[in-house]
Amino acid sequence: MTHPLESLMVAGGILLLAFLSCLLLPAPVLALSLAQNIIATFHLQDLGQLYTIIFCAWFLFLGALEYLVIRFVWRRWFSIERS
């Protein structure tokens, strides 16, 4: 049986690791011509709005990836095996 708050802990863990990623890992940088094409395609206001969206998506992706890696390592090598 899983814990009733496990889904909340998963989301919290992903957000926490995303915030840690903000401090530790660099975000992607776009070329100016590519950035202008994306701004025109998605009808964004300016470059700042585009980079806000890119940073949020990038760090949430990294947080989810880090969470899955840590969860895999924990369950594979460190958790107590139940029979």
pLDDT digits (tens, 9 = 90+) for 23-72: 777 777 889 999 999 999 999 999 999 999 998 888 888 888 888 888 88
Number of domains in the chain: 1
| Predicted model pTM | 0.67
Q: Which residue shows structure tokens 């998506």? A: 57
Check residue 82 and give its pLDDT: 59
Question: Residue 26 belongs to what domain range?
Answer: 6-78
* 67 within domain boundaries: yes
* 83 within domain boundaries: no
